[in-house]
Structure 1
Amino acid sequence: MALRADDLIDRRRLRRKLTFWRVVAIGIIALGVIALSTWFYGDDFGGSTVDHIAKVKIEGTITEDEELIKRLETIRLSSKVKGVILSIDSPGGTTVGGESIYEEVRKLAADKPVVAEVGTLAASAGYMIASAADHIVARKTSIVGSIGVLIQYPDVSGLMDKLGVKLEEVKSSPLKAAPSPFKPTNDDERAMVRKLILDSYN
């Protein structure tokens, strides 16, 4: 049965109304998402829209962490963050990783009060970062301290002798590629490694 002209007009009007209300619904949902994001993250996405204390967790092995550095910078620049708690539970990590986070915490502490809260352990690079705060709070059983630099390497030269394997090498200088796991470390090589350790430590 053929549709009348009036029916076609009514259907077109209905489609237009449905399209209009779909657009309105999508707009309301989008505004709701933006409002919730602003409420939870603030205008700078660094925290709540109200004044608050920020808490940052630093756990496990510490390495170079650009995401953490950026988060600390965002917290430092946020006008809503009035203080910071660093929750640290770490045995340490790399020298560069610890140093980069330490420096960012020092910048943060220059602008806002920073307290380091130690869990079970804050040693080596973990303690270095904690020392950048204004205060360190720890439990009686927490292990805090022991900043040091360590280099470990195996010596498989005895195993190579048993297997009848010899290492041939040509070097541009006597200390190139030292220490090597394929031969015992001599006094000059050990002194060079110790100097590197002390340079990093000091």
Structure 2
Amino acid sequence: MNNDAEKRIMLALQRRRLLRWRIGAVLSFIFAFGVLVLPTSIKHKSTISTPHIARITIDGIIGDNVSLQERAIYHAAKDESVTGLLVIVNSPGGAVTGGERLHNAIERFASKKPVAVSMGGLGASAAYMLSAPAQHIVAMPSTLTGSIGVILERYDFSPLLGRLGVSNGSIISGDMKNQTDPSVALSPGGRDMLQGIVHDLFDQFVTMVAQGRHMTVEKVKSLADGRPYTGRQALALGLVDELGTEKNARDWLKHRLNITSATYPVCDIAKKENARKFFGIPYKAVIGTFLGESAARRFEMASTIDTLDGPVAILSW
């Protein structure tokens, strides 16, 4: 093969590679636009009017913005066709405020109708907080739950900035105003202030668990050093009521409601019916296909982690 022919072949291959890269870049842009910009269609209410159990799923890291789930639970509480609530939990926890809002919504529902929780692999910290008001909590023997506690992360980058010749010259109105700023060294007074916030949030968490699980505050505090428990350990400690799966939680609800029908309907609420899509395919499925399921889960969690800018109740794992 002469040199001219080889050059033409190499040029054709380079053009083909360049075309592939350009197509990939365009598709990536369209995909990112679809994920980050295009709206998501949400179903807040049950789609049937006959008596049924409402089911809501709480999975992944819990952010501050839980309005979708919160509204769905409130709607279900007022819906006369909803006879009970089944909460599916698989979460390490998250924002204290998000957990508190869901706790309050479930507590309000439980004051009118029965609630059962089914925990998957995780039902810890803020996820346990929201589960506490339920009349019945089911966990797998291997579920990690509990982890009752609060953490407020506060990094100190001031030594590093000092070595770079950068100093913080902020003008503040009071000594505590900049104590959450990682570019400023934490003073003893600032540490005491932040510790006081954590203690107060912890006391609120303990009270929620004590009320929901019908325990004394002292009993809850003896279990609340932040450690997680397996489902089997949690059962022995009174933090959950039964070991099993979602079926056990459904069966408990049906027994509580005196339902004998094997086909009694369960309807999902707070469901994203038309999730953000890429050419009609849910973005999570696209990422999972090309990068694997673990990448898809990390991508989904990333958008939630951005909301965790304050105290959190989360199991670090």
Which shifted more, 93-102 or 44-53? 44-53
Q: Secondary structure at the match of 1:85?
A: strand
1:111 aligned partner: 112
1:77 matched to which residue of 2?
Answer: 78
Alpha-carbon distance in structure 1 between the residues aligned to 2:180 and 2:84: 46
Q: 1:56-95 alignment to 2 at 5 Å?
A: 56-63=56-63, 64-95=65-96
1:98 aligns with 2:99: yes
- The alpha carbon displacement at 1:182 in A equals 1.7
- Displacement over 3 Å in runs of 4+: none
Q: State the secondary structure of the residue aligned to 2:117.
A: strand
* CA deviation after TM superposition for structure 1 residue 194, in Å: 0.2
Residue aligned with 1:201, SS: helix
SS in 2 for 1:56: strand
The residue number in structure 1 matching 2:280 is none
1:87–1:118: 8 Å Cα contact kept in structure 2? yes
- Matched AA of 2:170: E
When residues 163 and 72 of structure 1 are mapped into structure 2, their CA distance, relative to the original with a 3 A threshold, is: same
Cross-structure match for 1:175: 176
Aligned residues: 160
> Separation in 1 of the partners of 2:105 and 2:181?
35
Larger Rg: 1
Q: For residues 139-180 of structure 1, what are the alpha-carbon distances to aligned partners after superposition, in whole Å with 9 as ceiling and x for unaligned?
A: 000011112211112211221122122222322111112133
Q: Secondary structure at the match of 1:102?
A: helix
> For 1:148 and 1:112, how far apart are their aligned partners in 2?
29
Aligned: 1:160 with 2:161: yes
Mapped to 2, the partners of 1:200 and 1:56 lie a distance apart of 26
Q: Is the 8 A contact 2:178 2:184 kept in 1?
A: no
Query: What does 1:1-202 align with in structure 2 at a 5 Å threshold?
Result: 45-63=45-63, 64-202=65-203
**d(CA) in 2 for partners of 1:78 and 1:173?**
50
CA contact 2:179–2:187 (8 Å) conserved in 1? no
Q: Using structure 1 for the length normalisation, give the TM-score.
A: 0.74
Structure 1 unaligned residues grouped into runs of 5+: 1-40
Give, in angstroms, the shift of residue 45 of structure 1.
Answer: 4.9
Return the structure number with greater relative CO, CA threshold 8 A, min gap 6: 2
CA RMSD of aligned residues (A): 1.8
With normalisation by structure 2, the TM-score equals 0.48
Contact 2:45/2:72 (8 A) holds in 1: no
Aligned residue identity for 1:184: A
Q: What displacement does 1:88 show?
A: 0.5
Q: SS of the counterpart of 1:111?
A: coil
